[in-house]
Structure 1
Amino acid sequence: MRITFLGTGDSMGTPRVYCDCGVCEEARTDGNNLRLRSSLLLEIDNELPLLLDCGPDWRAQMESMGIRSMPQALLTHAHFDHIGGVTEWADACRWREEKGRIYAPQEVLGEVRTRFPWIESQLTMFGNDEGMEYGDWWIKPWRVNHGKNGYSYAYRFENKESGANWAYCSDAINLSEAQKAPLAGLELLVLGTSFAAEPYPMDTRSVYDMREGVLLVGETRPERVLFTHLSHDIDVRLDYGLPSHVKLATTGMQVVV
């Protein structure tokens, strides 16, 4: 499976329009820290591409890849930074006379329907609570704690032929032991870590910071780790002293599992 990072930012992206911090200013000039909202493009041979989350930067992400049509997407949860692009996607489907497909747990689909009650005229929704196939891959969601923001879903991907596996967990914090279990034995973990060391009270937070992410990695022991969902607190030019198998994801990065 080929994985392309279309965006690696948190809910506000980088730069933040109101901010003149060093990271935001660098993002406006050299652009190393320029970050659209977190999203992945998944591709395997002989199957249509699969988008993972469809945030408000969807149009810019499609333009950057030269993509004119998106057939299907997985959603992790119904927060705006993860579904804000579905209206533009639906409009693209309307103009192209296509019908897109959204896959997500039923409670996520219910929230999408509430916010966009007309959306199913262009995007057909399919519940994937029990898992779903994507070519030779089995994709299984599980519910994770999203702190003050309630819940999200993470996804574990397993290849039925080779046994290759990886997981995407962009919006989570304080996972229970049961919620950590699907992270065990991974070749690759893509984990959301918004801050290097978030200074705010735990009851106001919603995503792991990098310090906590490293501790989680020590518990679950994946072979490779990429941190995503990065806020303007993170400067990709700095060395954060991360373990050698832990890296920061960057826009356009491609990895293969």
Structure 2
Amino acid sequence: MGVPRVYCSCSVCEEARSGGVNRRMRSLVHLADEEFGTMLIDCGPDWRSQMEAAGLKRIDTILITHAHFDHIAGLPEWADLCRWLRCKGKAYAMPDVINDILTRFPWLSSHIEFHPITGPLQFGGWVVQTWKVNHGKNGYAYAFRFSHAERGKAFAYCSDSIALEGEELVPLAELDLLILGTSFYQEPYPFETRSVYDVTEALALIEDLKPVKTLFTHMSHDIDLQRNYGLPANVAFAHAGLTAIV
């Protein structure tokens, strides 16, 4: 929902409402590397404001994790950008995700080329692996691992997942940076009603995975960035406009 939540008067939402550090939009990543061109991961309902904040006027390529509203609702605005600039955007997603998107927004294909992911993608020296991850009560999503053999670097984006095990965890090993979704610090609701890791669970997970650095994203209004949670030195909460270097 982003922060502040319209209905909420908790201290985090009130601080965010005044323009404070807890004001956050839906999760989105701008990949700023000459080998990517201009690329985003996901395109949620805050896309226009995020583009303005980043000083971006054009995006050529978007990778999409899954077809939930908070990850795709900006696609019609992107399509409109492509229409006015007379260019064709490129969206990469798994075939089932593309089917869900075009079922809801069938006109998008007039201005966006949808490329189904059927194996590893390559952008310059970066190889991108896509795999399905458990999204709890919300079904499943997909995550992306980016590896660059020449640079010896790897990072992963796994925004919507919970209780990963077995093969789901393999692409998260030996990372320089892990971006992982965490909604609450310690979520109080029954496990069967949940869809994203909480911070305590994520800390236990990265204790096993041992990435060089971890950023927590996709946070609800339970997380107060003014509070000291005693996170390890190599772990931090994401915030609007954050830049991370791999």
SS at 1:254's partner residue? Answer: coil
In structure 1, distance between residues paired with 2:72 and 2:184: 22
Instruction: Give runs of aligned pairs for residues 63-212 of structure 1, distance below 5 A.
Output: 63-212=52-201
Kindly provide the amino acid, as one letter, of the partner of residue 38 in structure 1. S
Answer whether contact 1:104 1:129 (CA < 8 A) is retained.
no
How much has 1:44 moved relative to structure 2? 1.3
Contact 2:35–2:123 under 8 Å retained in 1: no
Residue equivalent to 2:39: 50
RMSD (Å), alpha carbons: 0.9
User: Is 2:242 the counterpart of 1:253?
Assistant: yes
Instruction: State how far apart, in whole Å, the 2-side matches of 1:91 and 1:225 are.
Output: 35
The alignment's TM-score, normalised by the length of structure 1, stands at: 0.94
Task: Name the aligned partner's letter for residue 53 of structure 2.
Answer: S
Identity %: 51
Large movers: runs of 4+ above 4 Å? none
In the alignment, the residues of structure 1 paired with residue 118 and residue 206 of structure 2 have an alpha-carbon distance, to the nearest angstrom, of 26
Cα deviation, residue 47, structure 1: 4.4
- What corresponds to 1:236 in structure 2? 225
Deviation string 1:128-155 (CA, Å, 9 cap, x unpaired) is 2301011110011100000000000010
Q: Which has the higher contact order (CA 8 A, sep 6+)?
A: 1
State the SS of the aligned residue for 1:190.
strand
Q: Once the 2 structures are TM-superposed, how far is the Cα of residue 255 of structure 1 from its aligned partner? A: 1.3
Give the secondary-structure state (helix, strand or coil) at the position aligned to 2:129.
strand
Aligned-partner residue type, residue 232 of structure 2: P
- Count of residues in correspondence between the two structures: 246
Q: Which secondary structure state, in structure 2, belongs to the residue aligned with residue 108 of structure 1?
A: helix
Q: Over residues 194-238 of structure 1, what are the superposed CA-to-partner deviations in whole Å (9 max), with x where a residue is unaligned?
A: 000000001100000000000110111111000000000000011
1:70, CA displacement in angstroms? 1.0
The letter of the residue matching 1:92 is L
Match of residue 6 from structure 1? none
Unaligned regions of 5+ residues in structure 2, if any?
none
- Could you tell me whether the CA contact under 8 Å between 1:44 and 1:135 is conserved in 2? no
- Partners of 2:119 and 2:36 lie apart in 1 by 21
Residue 46 (structure 1) shift: 5.2
Deviations 1:6-31 (A, max 9, x none): xxxxxx00000111100000001142
Equivalence for 1:16: 5
2:4–2:16 CA contact under 8 A, matched in 1:
yes
Equivalent residue number for residue 3 of structure 1: none
Structure 1 residue 250: deviation in Å? Answer: 1.0
